[in-house]
Amino acid sequence: MHSLTLEDVHITLEGASLLSVDTSIAPGEVLTVMGPSGVGKSTLLAYIAGFLSPAFHARGRVCLGERELTRLPAEARRVGLLFQDPLLFPHLNVGGNLAFGMTAEGSRRKRRQRVEAALEEIGLNGFANRDPATLSGGQRSRVALMRVLLSKPCAMLLDEPFSKLDAALRDEMRQLVFQRVRQENLPTLMVTHDAADAEAAGGHVIELGS
């Protein structure tokens, strides 16, 4: 795994400076970006993932090791993204959601086995054919995490991933997410406005807009 480097990233909105970041995240490290809403935390994630809205203007480079992400289309960047909502595709079953991000290689049976194994890892054996709408909140979050991991990302972006979970579930998901990104050795950038998230992540913290 490689480090995720943000070199002199500078984002402006209609000429007004929004944020500037210059940092590097080592594999397995979680960097937390904090700040009140409206300072452009999510804009930074959109820029790294490749969806910056045309209203914004960005300067600088984002690299994964030697690979310059900012030159690539979003689908080729291999950056995993986790939102505050699980966003399971409603037109696919749970297994289909997991398989969506997997590479096309391998026989149908092999892919099916990988899905089954992934479900077992998150304690959802036999859920492959379920309608995602019938899952509980915690189950959906776990499926969403597994879906990202199965797409074999080289870096992870977390967009307030725990803010919509209730207190008990939040701790559980924090542990699961941080454990998995360390296990997979992924450089991870998390934006949040919850200090407890930053504490649980245990990495560096950048404050924006203060």
Asked if 163 touches other proteins (CB under 8 A), the answer is no
Residue 68 interacting with other proteins (CB under 8 A): no
Order of all β-strands in the sheet with 67-68: 16-25, 4-13, 56-64, 67-68
Q: What is the signed CA dihedral for 193, 195, 199, 204, rounded to 10 degrees?
A: 60
List the one residue from 41, 111, 142, 147 that touches other proteins (CB under 8 A). 147
C-alpha distances in Å from residue 195, one per residue of 32, 85, 160, 210: 10, 19, 11, 15
With CB under 8 A as the contact rule, which of the stretches 7-15, 131-139, 178-186, 187-195 interacts with other proteins? 131-139
Interface stretch with other proteins, choices 12-20, 82-90, 110-118, 196-204 (CB under 8 A) = 82-90
What is each CA distance from 117 to 8, 91, 132, 141, 205, in whole angstroms? Answer: 41, 22, 18, 17, 35
- Provide the residue count of the chain: 210
Measure the CA dihedral 90/44/52/158, to 10°: -20
207 binds other proteins, rule: CB under 8 A:
no
73 binds other proteins (CB under 8 A): yes
Q: What minimum distance in Å lies between the beta carbon of 113 and other proteins? A: 20
* CA 16 to each of CA 1, 11, 19, 51: distance values in angstroms, whole numbers, following the listed order: 36, 9, 9, 20
Binding-residue total with other proteins (CB under 8 A): 34
Which of residues 3, 23, 50, 203 is near other proteins by CB under 8 A?
A: 50
Among 14, 75, 105, 166, binds other proteins (CB under 8 A): 75
- Smallest gap from Cβ 49 to other proteins, in A, equals 6
Pairing of strands 56-64, 4-13: antiparallel
Would you say 8 or 100 has its CB closer to other proteins? 100
The residue among 1 and 72 lying less far from other proteins, judged by its C-beta, is 72
Find the helix or strand (DSSP H, E) in which 206 lies: strand 205-207
Which chain residues interact with other proteins by CB under 8 A? 46, 49-51, 53-54, 73-75, 77-81, 83, 85, 87-93, 100-101, 103, 131-134, 147-148, 151, 153
